[in-house]
Amino acid sequence: MTRTPRTGGQAGTPRTGGQAGMPSTGLPAAARLLLAVVAAALFLSGCAADGSAPIGGGGNGAQPAQTVAGGGSTVVPVQPYDIRPLLNPAKKFFGATFDGVPQNLSPVQQYATKVGRTPTLLEYYLGWGDALQADQTRAVWRDGQLPYIAWEPYKATMAQIAGGSQDAYIVSTAKTLRAINVPVAISLGHEMNGNWYPWGTKQSNAADFVKAWQHVHDVFQDQGVSTVIWVWSPNIVNPAPNVALKPYYPGDGYVDWVGVVGYYALTGAQNFSQLFGPTFSQIRTFTQRPFLLAETGSQPSPRKPGQITELLKTVADQPDVVGFIWFDLNKETDWRVDSSPDTLAAFRAGAANPAYDINLTGLK
């Protein structure tokens, strides 16, 4: 089952960098990240080529200028946030999305009270052309969640993005992320293998999607952004069995996580293996990047408590899955974890698994 497309978007986003003005296409992933870190460090320490002032209060606890002998001062360089410990942590991300976030974070704590665990990954949506709100992105991270931005290009085609006509907007977003210096996961054009979004199979093609993804990534690199976890997010293949995923894959140098979207409906796949197995198997033929269940939920039925129990246990036990994001909204159907007392009890029990005891503070 495919959910009805959402509209619009919220502020959020970022990651991998490159030295400003230096072409990044074709460089290995490690070289790209190194160039990004160097460029970001120069910017954040006040040595950026554009003369930008140093940014205080960075993600790594930047220190202000210190007084030295003779009454002068020196700027302690602010290092770009190192996202590498977040990419494949020993514990699992416990994620969710709600109405009203990130402008209002009260649903996060309400959910934590309900399920017995505070989310460590929060998904929300950024419409193409909408400004990234730096204060909201910082607030999510300070609240204890890794911001996860589903960036939805409703207002530009993938060909336009790839061709450079959207670069002013991309650069502006990248500069905002570089300045706030906190980790953010970004998924650009999610569910691209379906036909229900304009960037999907009806109005776009695999070649343009890949070019657009690589272009956005490279612009971020050239702006010195090294704090984004890039999440390539296809829908499960069940609704689109004739659409091969490999042609849509931008390459390991452009992707950190594979964020698979899949929901349990009244018909079709009824267990984890049936729902995600075919997609996982196909993806493993061309990449070994870690999986994230980027959006998941279960339609109310007598099977929902069992599906919740199995999903949370499978994510906890499967080494190549870094976590999940539960779509906790009553939209199209009641996907929420408390759609019945039995489903909430099953979710609370699964959430108590120590595999979800990820400590973002310890990974900073």
Q: Which residues fall within 8 angstroms of residue 296, CB to CB, at 6 or more apart?
A: 261, 262, 263, 264, 311, 324, 325, 326, 327
- 295 catalytic per annotation: yes
From the list 123, 152, 295, 310, the catalytic residue is 295
Q: Which residues fall within 8 angstroms of residue 116, CB to CB, at 6 or more apart?
A: 348, 351, 352
- 152 catalytic per annotation: no
From the list 152, 191, 310, 332, the catalytic residue is 191
- With vertex at residue 173, the alpha carbon angle to CA 8 and CA 185, rounded to the nearest 5 degrees, is 75
DSSP lists the bridge partners of residue 328 as none
What's at 125, amino acid-wise? Y
User: Distance (Å, rounded) from C-alpha 225 to C-alpha 347?
Assistant: 37
DSSP lists the bridge partners of residue 296 as 262, 326
User: Distance (Å, rounded) from C-alpha 279 to C-alpha 35?
Assistant: 33
Determine contact, residues 57/36, Cβ cutoff 8 Å: no
What's at 231, amino acid-wise? V
279 membership: H or E segment, kind and range = helix 272-283
Q: How many CA atoms lie within 13 A of 275 on its CB side?
A: 23
DSSP 299-316: -SSTTHHHHHHHHHHHHH
Residues designated catalytic? 191, 295
